[in-house]
């Protein structure tokens, strides 16, 4: 491997694959892309229906857990994150949600003028080829292939019709003009296969002579000389190994590993660094702070066996699923099962939806220590824009040790109230409509005896998990406490840039994979010195009249 590079990109995930691919479009630029994990070429990763097996495979994840969570009775929460080429885009649920336009308007209102919706939308369009074709909101010739779910099962239809009967709209494209309402889901799936950042961006670029990909390599430190980043240090069997670059080190390691790497390099809150014996290179108080996620719970209902998709997932049914996918790229192996969803407000004083619902026409429950299929359906609901904030810190200066990650879910009382209201919205409005009557749903969890706010609070504190959407730990901004500027450049260290979910100032309303990819496209243009894409004039929906 050559040791002379212009750029070193750390992390071959959703953002790193894009940054490396876009930078190497210039044949004069030499790029090293470093990834701690290995190959993503696995049948279970490629097959959307293999998602449960991917989630359970510890060899391709970081194995991180958050907590103890102080407002959840000390609970530890598994946090899925991909340690593999493609990163979390190779192991996630493939749900394509851009976030609400008002999310980006909020970033701009805080001084990040280049991140308003009009300036983000062109990059969303640039990166995708949408199955339904291009329009003023959607792209038609980008690397990412985005499909619309079939949503053919009868329980998907009951979810949509019940929502309409409850007074909500079914939006024709929740990633277009209007997010709010119920919707048929969209996904990173094309021709029955997962369409990850690796498949879309890295594989087409992999044979470029100016791109070097180094898998199974753990970055342990950023090299800083005379105040500027000049390269990285890698762990090796014979001791540390240095790789230098002439222009920039670009961190794309995610909202947990990016601050971890900064802290290991002496870049972060001085007191925290001294506490674990790391020499302070630059006192940057914001590193590891402002941690956000989407906390959520499952609401489960039982039905007759024949009414649930569970009836098709017997041992014989799973064998058929695999055979149909392998031979024909058809059948249940081509779906992630999250084929309908909703973005809804739980109260009138929010300007746009603060709760996301993902619907499944099957459910599982823990029995005798094992998750077993149960005839029924479930809502995964998460809080889209929580007020609570957590942190990432080092446990020790050993790079092999997981960092201490604490989300502090429900530190804000309003977050807890919104979750309780979200459960009531499901119980008292969505599932009480005529569309559900023939299925005779029986509530399994929280259960019919969990009635009062106090009962529901206890349930939420016990049952809370997350949507695996950590963000915000190296936030961008224009204030003195921001870690990076609006182009992802680390304010305190020249030659160092970040292009992942850690720089989000506030988490967006929806899954993070698509927004992170948009951010990577946008920042890659800035690194290359290219003129930004012209702002869009497309209008968007919010409570009240449309605006642009």
Three-class secondary structure of residue 295 per DSSP:
strand
- Cα separation, 61 vs 147, whole angstroms: 26
Catalytic residue among 153, 183, 294, 469: 469
Strands (DSSP E) contained in 459-537 are 465-466, 496-498
What the block records as the tokens of 534 is 């012209």
Q: H or E segment at 53?
A: helix 51-56
What the block records as the tokens of 436 is 């559900």
Q: Is the separation of the CB atoms in 244 and 3 below 8 Å?
A: yes
- In DSSP terms, 370 is beta-bridged to 367
Three-class secondary structure of residue 139 per DSSP:
coil
Dihedral (C-alpha) 472, 475, 481, 484: value to the nearest 10 degrees?
Answer: 160
Query: Position of tokens 């959520």?
Result: 296
Angle subtended at Cα 431 by Cα 363 and Cα 373, rounded to the nearest 5 degrees: 10
Active site residue 469: yes
Among 516, 495, 498, 37, residue whose Cα is nearest residue 252: 498
Which parts of 83-219 fold into alpha helices (H)?
101-109, 117-127, 154-165, 197, 203-205
The pairing of beta strand 355-360 with beta strand 340-344? antiparallel
- Cα separation, 80 vs 148, whole angstroms: 25
- Cα separation, 544 vs 210, whole angstroms: 51
Strands (DSSP E) contained in 421-473 are 442-445, 465-466
- Cα separation, 491 vs 506, whole angstroms: 19
What the block records as the tokens of 33 is 């892309």
N- to C-terminal Cα separation, the chain: 49
What the block records as the tokens of 378 is 């479930």
Q: DSSP letters along 367-418, please?
A: ETTEEEEESEEEEEEEESS-S--BEEE-S-S-TTSPPEEE--TTSSHHHHHH
Q: Is the separation of the CB atoms in 360 and 377 below 8 Å?
A: yes
The pairing of beta strand 75-79 with beta strand 228-234? unpaired
Distance of CA 415 to the CA centre of its chain: 20
Q: Please state the length of the chain.
A: 548
What does the radius of gyration of the chain's CA atoms come to, in whole angstroms?
23
Where in the sequence numbering do the catalytic residues fall? 469
């Amino acid at each position: 491997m050559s040791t002379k590079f212009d750029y070193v990109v750390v992390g071959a995930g959703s953002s790193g694959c894009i940054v490396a691919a876009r930078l190497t479009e210039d044949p004069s630029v030499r790029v090293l892309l470093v990834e701690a994990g290995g190959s993503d070429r696995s049948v279970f990763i490629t097959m959307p229906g293999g998602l449960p097996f991917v989630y359970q495979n510890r060899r391709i994840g970081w194995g991180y857990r958050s907590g103890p969570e102080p407002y959840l009775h000390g609970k530890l929460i598994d946090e899925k994150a991909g340690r593999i080429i493609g990163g979390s885009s190779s192991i996630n649920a493939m749900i394509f949600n851009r976030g609400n336009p008002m999310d980006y308007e909020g970033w701009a209102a805080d001084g990040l003028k280049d991140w308003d919706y009009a300036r983000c939308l062109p990059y969303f369009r640039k990166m995708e080829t949408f199955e339904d074709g291009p329009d003023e909101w959607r792209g038609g010739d980008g690397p990412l292939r985005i499909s619309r779910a079939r949503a053919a099962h009868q329980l998907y239809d009951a979810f949509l019709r019940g929502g309409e009967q409850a007074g909500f709209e079914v939006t024709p494209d929740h990633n277009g003009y209007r997010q709010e309402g119920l919707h048929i889901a969209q996904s990173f799936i094309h021709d029955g296969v997962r369409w990850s950042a690796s498949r879309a961006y890295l594989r087409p670029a992999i044979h470029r002579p100016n791109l070097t990909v180094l898998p199974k390599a753990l970055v342990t430190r950023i090299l800083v000389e005379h105040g500027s980043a000049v390269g990285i240090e890698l762990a090796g069997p014979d001791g540390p190994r240095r790789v230098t670059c002439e222009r920039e080190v670009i961190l794309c390691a995610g909202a947990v590993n990016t601050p971890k790497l900064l802290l290991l390099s002496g870049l972060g809150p001085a007191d925290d660094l001294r506490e674990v014996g790391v020499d302070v290179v630059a006192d940057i108080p914001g590193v590891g702070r402002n941690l956000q996620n989407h906390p959520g719970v499952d609401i489960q209902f039982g039905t007759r066996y024949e009414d649930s998709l569970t009836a098709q997932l017997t041992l014989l049914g799973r064998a058929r699923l695999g055979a149909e996918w392998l031979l024909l790229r058809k059948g249940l192996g081509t779906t992630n099962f999250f084929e309908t969803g909703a973005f809804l407000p739980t109260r009138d004083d929010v300007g746009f939806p603060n709760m996301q619902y993902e619907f499944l026409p099957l459910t599982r429950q823990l029995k005798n220590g094992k998750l077993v299929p149960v005839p029924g359906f479930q809502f995964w609901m998460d809080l889209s824009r929580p007020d609570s904030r957590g942190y990432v810190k080092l446990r020790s200066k050993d790079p092999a040790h997981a960092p201490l990650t604490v989300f502090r879910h429900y530190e804000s009382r309003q977050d807890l109230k919104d979750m309780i209201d979200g459960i009531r919205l499901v119980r008292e409005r969505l599932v009480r409509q005529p569309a559900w009557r023939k299925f005779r749903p029986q509530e399994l969890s929280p259960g019919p005896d969990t009635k009062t706010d106090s009962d529901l609070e206890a349930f939420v504190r016990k049952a809370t998990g997350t949507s695996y959407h950590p963000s915000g730990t190296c936030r961008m901004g224009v204030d003195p406490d921001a870690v990076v500027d609006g182009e992802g450049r680390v304010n305190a260290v020249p030659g160092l840039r970040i292009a992942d979910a850690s720089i989000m100032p506030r988490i967006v309303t929806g899954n993070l994979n698509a927004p992170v990819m948009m951010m990577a496209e946008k920042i890659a243009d800035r690194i290359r010195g290219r003129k930004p894409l012209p702002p869009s004039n497309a209008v968007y929906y919010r409570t009240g009249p449309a605006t642009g």
